[in-house]
Amino acid sequence: MAVKKPEELSKIDYKPPRTSWMDTPTEFKKGMFCWGNKEKSLKTVDFPNVRTWSVADEDWKLPGNWKEIFLEGLKERLSKYRSFQLFLDICVRCGACADKCHFFIGGGDPKNMPVLRAELLRSLYRKYLTGPGKLLGKIAGGRELTMDVLKELWYYAYQCTECRRCSLFCPYGIDTAEITILIRELLNLLGLNIEWVAGPVANCWRTGNHMGLLPHTLKDTVESFKEDLKTITGINVDYSFNRKGAEILFVNPSGEYFDPNGNITFMGYMLLFHEIGLDYTLSTYTSEGGNFGFFTSNEMAKRLHSKIYAEAKRLKVKWILGGECGHMWRVWHQYHNTWFGPVDFLEEPVSPITGTKFENTKSNKTVHICEFTADLINHGKIKLDPSRNDNYVATFHDSCNPARAMGFFEEPRYIIKSVCNNFYEMPSNTIRENTFCCGSGSGLNASEDMELRLRGALPRANALKHVREKFGVNTLANICQIDRATLQTLVDYWVPGVAVRGVHELVGNALVMKGEKERTTDLRGDPLPGKEVQE
Amino acid sequence: MSFGLSFWLSLLAVAGLGLIAYVGVAAAHLNYLFGIIIPYAAFATFIVGIIYRVLRWGARPVPFRIPTTGGQQKSLPWIQQNKIDNPSSTLGVVVRMALEVLLFRSLFRNMRTELRGGPTLSYASAKWLWIAGLAFHWTFLIILVRHLRFFLQPVPSVIAIIESLDAFFQVGAPLLYLTDVFFVLAVTYLLVRRLFIPTLRYISLPADYFPLFLILGIGVTGVLTRYFFKVNAVGVKELTMGLATLSPKVPEGIGVIFYIHLLLVSTLFAYFPFSKLTHMAGVFLSPTRNLANTNRAKQHVNPWNYPVKVHTYEEYEDDFREFMKDAGIPVEKE
């Protein structure tokens, strides 16, 4: 697809149209939306209105009573979520959220202002479910639910990455992610998903991971990592799949098995676990920590992740360790304990190496790899040579979900500073709780919506450009597989010359292992500083 | 609805209310209706309406614990937690909520995004909305408290103290209240920004203009009542005390401007429970603010949690057993 040049794409007009938003029809712009789901993806998980359809078609092949299904679904969800009812009721349209959304900043479409994105639904809520709206219609801010309105909802529900940046700035904590999540649930009642979400969901249901990797493929993949690591370090690292009686079940995003950038992060974990002698197992059945079900419906999210606990129980492990992934940790942290608790068949997590009790997860028994590693480093249990990462001048991109759903700021920074000599922060308005989305979250990391993604990444890339120019930053470290898989393309477009790297890749590089040979390359096979071959 | 229509409709509605009160009292002499019946009805609507709204929200379950975390989580003991923006205790939540409700903590974070050529994005400080919001809400509250002097006899000393502080500069006769000045200024600012910031004008509905005009109308008529028309304060107090003691009577000789003021206030009370103004009560219930971030440390129960259909390990192994065996992955059934 021909994409505009950066100079052209960044000419953004924030001035809204002259006609009011309700009277401005939504134009579907190519490059700004994902393809609709395929028949087989819905069928695999028994979703309603199974059929193949195309966004470009006039007819989206909906059941005759679609309006009724939508409105009944809306009513039901209002009764089940205080958040939803409250967020539809109390917005004062102060506009504080308007210029906080990366898609609005990078695109200028007024319906991407979080407030207006929510108003798309709020107007229907008023019209059909509130007294003043029923009585006064448009005067009370209500509007009819028509096919065009439904399509508009779909278009903008899949132009929100559920990053929650707006919710930080809202004086009432109105969370657009919550609204987007529930709009998507409603759309899924009508079989209106995107294939980039529905496909991975179906894969995950069947094979245990989004990528659809079968057990032997997973084994072969990890075996090939093992061979690479043998070449690089001279050490035979151990691993196992579906092993009963292991102390810890390790679950990571499957993109790490598939995406070349993620592969290296995974190799970093393998080296670390080998070095400390961790008694852990991987599982082919639960070979996915991420959850695209979460971008479909809360029920689908729960359906996919129950396997993690079932597997932990079957394998009789003590607790669960989770890899680097953004939305995965939103789901693990904010939802798992509610869906699956009490998790009384596991033990309160204790690091077998340092003896540290992870008090903050004593109920759910899931530890983030960065909590685990930061504790190891703090106790001096691993030997690190940060000079091996001296080719890297790093900054850290806080992924939305660990940032605004956990407050996960210091752990990864502590690790990076321990394994990397050159570290610089991006401007404070763009990191930590203020962080910007990569532009590809919540299942929007397809290729057909590249313009949307490029626009969404502008604020992140711009802050990166600042530190690239000021400090010579050439590495964007992060703890999210979506970042690793998608951000490189976007960074190449806006800020060429910056590499996107997982934190545990940097750990793997710096880790000085017992019995290793003199390393000459990093985990990518590129020469270490000072080890370049002289011509 | 177009901007023009939203704007004029709201303005006309408030002006119309003023006219109704004027005609109703000055020409039709419906003093009892405007002085007694409507205020009682409006107050009752407010009380019943707001209780209904809060109970309705309260009856909705909070299925998930979804705080928006604005600072470092509680994790390892050597990592400094931000106990207010990311609370893990009830005390932390109380402080976070107090800062939110009393000082508009989240609005204080506001910044203005600017795009220049290059492209270069910058984030400038933008505290005016926060300042005006604080000024508006706090002066409104103080004015409301001051008005209790009309409903209490004897007037409590605390109200007298507030009044004397409010009239600190001892200007004019009657003494000028600072809150009156700042209130009118703040509401005007909130209206002006809505009119002149293009994106804000784009998202504004009649439900945004109407309360602003109404509140501005209340402020202006209040100022007129006190400073310019200097209505018969003794008469007003007789009327308000009558309302407060449930022995309503309508004294003669209160200026019609007072009745206009009273009708606008009554409208605000009656309109309140049906409008966005319920954010006053709703903010206390906001799940992204009033929950501690203890998700993994304590179980949060969803009252409607239900079992879902899952793809079991047994089904998975049945699908892929041969592949697993070939790859040397342990299976349950050989």
- A520: in domain: no
- Contact check, Cβ <8 Å, A90/B282: yes
- A518: in domain: no
Measured in angstroms, the CA of B48 and the nearest CA of chain A are apart by: 16
**What is the model's pLDDT at position A40?**
97
Helix, strand, coil % in chain B, rounded to nearest 5: 60, 5, 35
Compare CB distances from A215 to B62, B63, B329 and report the shortest one's residue. B329
Tell me which chain A residues have a C-beta less than 8 angstroms from the C-beta of B9: 139
Q: What is the pLDDT along chain B (334 residues), one digit of tens a residue?
A: 789 999 999 999 999 999 999 999 999 999 999 999 999 999 999 999 999 999 999 999 999 999 999 999 999 999 999 999 999 999 999 999 999 999 999 999 999 999 998 899 999 989 999 999 999 999 999 999 999 999 999 999 999 999 999 998 888 888 999 999 999 999 999 999 999 999 999 999 999 999 999 999 999 999 999 999 988 989 999 999 999 999 999 998 899 999 999 999 999 999 999 999 999 999 999 999 999 999 999 999 999 999 999 999 999 999 999 999 999 999 999 8
- Contact check, Cβ <8 Å, A175/B68: yes
How far apart CA A287 and CA B278 sit, in angstroms, is 46
Query: Environment class of residue A260 by beta-carbon count within 10 Å: exposed (0-12), middle (13-18) or buried (19+)?
Result: exposed
**What is the model's pLDDT at position A2?**
54
**What is the model's pLDDT at position A535?**
58
Q: What is the pLDDT along chain A (535 residues), one digit of tens a residue?
A: 457 899 999 999 999 999 999 999 999 999 999 999 999 999 999 999 999 999 999 999 999 999 999 999 999 999 999 999 999 999 999 999 999 999 999 999 999 999 999 999 999 999 999 999 999 999 999 999 999 999 999 999 999 999 999 999 999 999 999 999 999 999 999 999 999 999 999 999 999 999 999 999 999 999 999 999 999 999 999 999 999 999 999 999 999 999 999 999 999 999 999 999 999 999 999 999 999 999 999 999 999 999 999 999 999 999 999 999 999 999 999 999 999 999 999 999 999 999 999 999 999 999 999 999 999 999 999 999 999 999 999 999 999 999 999 999 999 999 999 999 999 999 999 999 999 999 999 999 999 999 999 999 999 999 999 999 999 999 999 999 999 999 999 999 999 999 999 999 999 999 999 999 999 999 999 999 999 876 5
- A165: in domain: yes
Residues A297 and A444 in one domain: yes
Tell me which chain A residues have a C-beta less than 8 angstroms from the C-beta of B208: 92-93
Compare CB distances from A95 to B85, B203, B323 and report the shortest one's residue. B203
How many other C-beta atoms are found inside a 10 Å radius of the C-beta of residue A9? 18
**What is the model's pLDDT at position A302?**
98
Query: Environment class of residue A371 by beta-carbon count within 10 Å: exposed (0-12), middle (13-18) or buried (19+)?
Result: buried
For residues B331 and A372, is the Cβ–Cβ distance under 8 A?
no
- A128: in domain: yes
**A contact test, residue of B66, B101, B285 with most A CBs within 10 A:** B66
How far apart CA A198 and CA A446 sit, in angstroms, is 12
Nearest C-alpha in B relative to A12: B115
- Contact check, Cβ <8 Å, B60/A306: no
Tell me which chain A residues have a C-beta less than 8 angstroms from the C-beta of B69: 403-407, 433
Measured in angstroms, the CA of A457 and the nearest CA of chain B are apart by: 12
The SS3 assignment for A119 reads: helix
**What does each C-alpha distance from A451 to A41, A391, A459, A489, B115 come to in angstroms?**
25, 32, 14, 12, 18
- Contact check, Cβ <8 Å, A206/B311: yes
Domain boundary among A139, A173, A192: A192
For residue A478, which of A255, A180, A302 has the smallest C-alpha distance? A255
Measured in angstroms, the CA of A152 and the nearest CA of chain B are apart by: 16
**What is the model's pLDDT at position B170?**
87
Compare CB distances from A337 to B282, B286, B299 and report the shortest one's residue. B299
Phi, psi for A66 (deg, rounded to 5) = -60, -35
How far apart CA B185 and CA B216 sit, in angstroms, is 9
- A496: in domain: yes
Q: What count of CB pairs under 8 Å joins A to B?
A: 314
**CB-based contacts of A524: which residues, under 8 Å, 6+ apart?**
A264
First to last CA, chain B: 68
Tell me which chain B residues have a C-beta less than 8 angstroms from the C-beta of A116: 202-203
For residues A261 and A481, is the Cβ–Cβ distance under 8 A?
no
For residues A404 and A433, is the Cβ–Cβ distance under 8 A?
yes
How far apart CA A171 and CA A168 sit, in angstroms, is 8
Residues A23 and A152 in one domain: yes
**What is the model's pLDDT at position B19?**
98
B324 HSE (CA, 13 A, CB side): 22
Domain boundary among A192, A217, A233: A192
For residues B313 and A307, is the Cβ–Cβ distance under 8 A?
yes
Query: Would you say the C-alpha torsion A270, A272, A273, A275 has a positive or negative sign?
Result: positive
Q: In what order do the strands lie in the sheet with A394-396?
A: A394-396, A475-478, A499-502
**CB-based contacts of B170: which residues, under 8 Å, 6+ apart?**
none
How many other C-beta atoms are found inside a 10 Å radius of the C-beta of residue A202? 23
For residues A86 and A122, is the Cβ–Cβ distance under 8 A?
no
Domain boundary among A155, A173, A192: A192
Phi-psi region of A497 (alpha: psi -120 to 50; beta: other; left: phi over 0): left
Please give the mean pLDDT across all residues of chain B: 96
Tell me which chain A residues have a C-beta less than 8 angstroms from the C-beta of B301: 338, 341
Tally helices (H) and strands (E) across chain A.
23, 9
- Contact check, Cβ <8 Å, B72/A314: no
- In chain A, the number of structural domains is 2
Domain carrying residue A502: 201-512
Phi-psi region of A394 (alpha: psi -120 to 50; beta: other; left: phi over 0): beta
H or E element in which residue A263 lies: helix A260-276
For residue A122, which of A130, B292, A163 has the smallest C-alpha distance? A130
**What is the model's pLDDT at position A223?**
98
- A383-384 vs A511-512, strand pairing mode: antiparallel
Predicted interface score ipTM higher than 0.90: yes
How many other C-beta atoms are found inside a 10 Å radius of the C-beta of residue A463? 25
Name the one residue in this structure whose structure tokens are 């984030």: B123
Residues A484 and A400 in one domain: yes
- Contact check, Cβ <8 Å, A169/B109: yes
Residues A123 and A57 in one domain: yes
Residues A83 and A229 in one domain: no
Measured in angstroms, the CA of A167 and the nearest CA of chain B are apart by: 7
**CB-based contacts of B307: which residues, under 8 Å, 6+ apart?**
none
First to last CA, chain A: 40
Tell me which chain B residues have a C-beta less than 8 angstroms from the C-beta of A172: 279, 282-283, 286, 289
Nearest C-alpha in A relative to B207: A140
Alpha carbon B255 to its chain centroid, in Å, reads 32
Compare CB distances from A168 to B68, B274, B297 and report the shortest one's residue. B68
Note the pTM of the prediction, 2 decimals. Answer: 0.96
Nearest C-alpha in B relative to A87: B286
How many other C-beta atoms are found inside a 10 Å radius of the C-beta of residue A533? 6
Cis omega (within 30 of 0) on the bond before B119? yes
Tell me which chain B residues have a C-beta less than 8 angstroms from the C-beta of A404: 68-70
Task: Look up residue B227 and give its DSSP letter.
Answer: I
Tokens of A367: 């530890």
Compare CB distances from B199 to A22, A98, A462 and report the shortest one's residue. A98
The superfamily in CATH containing domain B3-308 is Transmembrane di-heme cytochromes, Chain C (1.20.950.20)
- A22: in domain: yes
B191 HSE (CA, 13 A, CB side): 19
**B contact test, residue of A47, A285, A296, A359 with most B CBs within 10 A:** A285
Residues A169 and A224 in one domain: no
Residues A138 and A230 in one domain: no
Residues A186 and A246 in one domain: no
**What is the model's pLDDT at position A492?**
96
Tally helices (H) and strands (E) across chain B.
14, 2
How far apart CA A212 and CA A20 sit, in angstroms, is 45
- A140: in domain: yes
Tokens of B95: 């402080």
Residues A269 and A133 in one domain: no
Tell me which chain A residues have a C-beta less than 8 angstroms from the C-beta of B112: 99
Q: Which long-range contacts (CB under 8 A, 24 or more apart) does B100-107 make?
A: B100/A171, B100/A173, B100/B283, B100/B289, B101/B283, B101/B284, B103/B134, B104/A171, B104/B130, B104/B133, B104/B134, B104/B137, B106/A96, B106/A168, B106/A169, B106/A170, B106/A171, B106/A173, B106/B289, B107/A94, B107/A96, B107/A169, B107/A171, B107/B133
Tell me which chain B residues have a C-beta less than 8 angstroms from the C-beta of A80: 60-61, 63, 304
Query: Bridge partners of B243?
Result: none
